[in-house]
């Protein structure tokens, strides 16, 4: 049987927004990943507030950087809570 690639392995997926209300979900996800020996994947998304077809590359780049910064902070917090690895087991998507 061939080994699964990282993308094919099961994981725990957490929607992370950095709010105080999100902290219990982060704690749960870290513990669940630890108990099951799975990777913790974190994601962040936002609703684009403009009509379909509206493109503003500068604004989109700002939102993307803000999301990346938030996920970086979330991954750091997850590691503080005991998640394994430095990016290998806590990944921001």
Helix (H) or strand (E) holding 92: strand 90-92
What is the longest distance spanned by two Cα atoms in the chain? 48
pLDDT computed for residue 89 by the predictor: 42
Whether this prediction's pTM lies above 0.75 is answered by: no
* pLDDT, tens digit, 9 for 90 and up, residues 24-83: 999 999 999 999 999 999 998 776 676 777 778 888 888 889 889 999 999 999 999 998
């Amino acid at each position: 049987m061939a080994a699964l690639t990282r993308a094919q392995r099961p994981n725990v997926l957490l929607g992370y927004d950095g709010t105080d209300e999100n902290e219990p979900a982060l704690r749960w996800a870290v513990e669940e990943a630890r108990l099951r020996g799975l990777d913790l994947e974190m994601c962040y998304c936002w609703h684009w507030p403009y009509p379909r077809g509206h493109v503003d590359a500068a604004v989109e780049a700002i939102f993307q950087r803000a999301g990346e910064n938030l996920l970086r902070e979330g991954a750091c917090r997850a590691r503080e809570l005991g998640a394994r690895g430095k990016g290998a087991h806590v990944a921001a998507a």
